């Protein structure tokens, strides 16, 4: 579906304002002691939301109660510019390998299956040393649905690769009424899934140090998060990168891998 630029811009402004307002309200209800724990782990506490089993931070990263209590081991924070690609200290190991992906969203099964296949196809056509295969049951990356509330939250990743070099799981997509419907674009949903898969294999947000770039407004930027934020050589250091699949917030558009994304993916996994 195509929208006029003015209409699309107005709608985006409403979504971002609504999301910011709700996030601020929920963050204020979290005890300062918990917010301090979040910051101690290297994450921004701005917009943190209490969810089942822990907290969602930095838009789409899940931080469990257990992780909050652990001793932080902050990885390197090697920043060059504001909108370039970053990866975590831990990456996938035992390459080449095939990662199995399962889709267990509770509704719109055909839509979510097609979107998962779209995301997988985007990675697999690159000839990387990591490929993905959708399976039934539970895969190494399991995509599930859970009510994450309103306010524009689309999904969250359970984190980044483990020290043993395996992908994080699960990816949780929001099943809150109206978040995704039968009219949701397969390509856009595929972008969201590809984004969360990106986290599970070691990619940070492209606008890690300037979240206002994709999220708008005054935003606290992200920390090293105990997992590192290491600049990927060859990705642009100063020019804006509006089409990246790893931007922190979506504008509702389809974002297949752009040239900068391809540099980052090839650098880590070619």
Domains and CATH numbers, the chain: 74-269 (3.40.390.10)
**Tell me: the pLDDT tens digits for 238-260?**
546 678 999 888 888 999 999 99
Tokens of 186: 């397969």
- Reading the block at residue 16, the tokens are 């971002």
Q: Contact, 101 vs 143, CB < 8 A?
A: yes
Over residues 31-45, the mean pLDDT reads 81
Packing angle between helix 186-200 and helix 109-124, nearest 10 degrees? 60
- Residues 6 or more apart in contact with residue 150 via CB below 8 angstroms: 22, 176, 178, 179
Task: List, for residues 179-238, the tens digit of each pLDDT value.
Answer: 999 899 999 999 999 999 999 999 988 877 777 778 776 455 555 545 666 778 878 765
Close Cβ partners of 242 (under 8 Å, ≥ 6 residues apart): 214
Lowest mean pLDDT among 18-27, 55-64, 228-237: 18-27
CB 161 within 8 A of CB 91: yes
> 121-177, pLDDT tens digit by residue?
999 999 999 999 999 999 999 999 999 888 788 988 888 898 899 999 999 999 999
- In this structure, the number of other CB atoms found within 10 A of the CB of residue 11 comes to 13
Is the pLDDT at 78 greater than 70? The verdict is no
Q: What is the pTM of this model?
A: 0.75
Interatomic CA distance for residues 11 and 219, integer angstroms: 20
Alpha helices in the chain (DSSP H): 5-28, 32-40, 65-69, 109-124, 186-200, 212-215, 259-269
Per-residue pLDDT, averaged over 86-104, amounts to 91
Residues 66, 91, 201, 165: is their CA dihedral positive or negative? negative
The answer to whether residue 91 scores a pLDDT higher than 80 is yes
Task: Report the SS3 class of residue 188.
Answer: helix
Q: Of 217, 214, 268, which Cα lies nearest the Cα of 246?
A: 214
For the ranges 2-16, 43-57, 153-167, which has the lowest average pLDDT?
Answer: 2-16
SS3 assignment, position 196? helix
Residue 234's pLDDT is what?
Answer: 79
Pick the more confident residue, 62 or 128. 128
């Amino acid at each position: 579906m195509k929208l006029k630029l003015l209409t699309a811009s107005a709608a985006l402004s409403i979504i971002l304002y609504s999301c910011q307002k709700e996030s601020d309200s929920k963050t204020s209800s979290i005890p300062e002691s918990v917010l301090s724990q979040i910051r101690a782990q290297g994450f921004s506490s701005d917009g943190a939301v209490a969810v089942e089993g822990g907290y969602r931070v930095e838009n789409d990263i899940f931080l469990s109660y257990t992780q909050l209590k652990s001793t932080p081991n902050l990885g390197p924070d090697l920043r060059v510019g504001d909108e370039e690609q970053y990866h975590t200290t831990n990456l996938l190991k035992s390459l080449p390998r095939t990662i199995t992906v399962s889709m267990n969203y509770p509704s719109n099964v055909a839509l979510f299956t097609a979107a998962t296949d779209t995301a997988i196809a985007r990675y697999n056509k690159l000839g990387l040393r990591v490929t993905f295969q959708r399976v039934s049951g539970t895969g190494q990356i399991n995509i599930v649905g859970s009510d994450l509330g309103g306010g524009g939250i689309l999904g969250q990743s359970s984190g980044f690769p483990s020290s043993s070099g395996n992908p994080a799981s699960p990816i949780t997509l929001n099943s809150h009424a109206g978040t995704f419907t039968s009219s949701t674009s397969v390509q856009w949903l595929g972008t969201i899934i590809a984004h969360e898969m990106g986290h599970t294999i070691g990619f940070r947000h492209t606008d890690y140090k300037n979240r206002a770039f994709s999220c708008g407004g005054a935003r606290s930027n992200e920390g090293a998060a105990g997992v590192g934020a290491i600049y990927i050589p060859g990705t642009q250091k100063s020019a804006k990168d509006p089409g990246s699949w790893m931007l922190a917030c979506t504008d509702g558009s389809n974002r297949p891998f752009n040239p900068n994304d391809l540099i980052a993916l090839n650098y880590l996994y070619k």
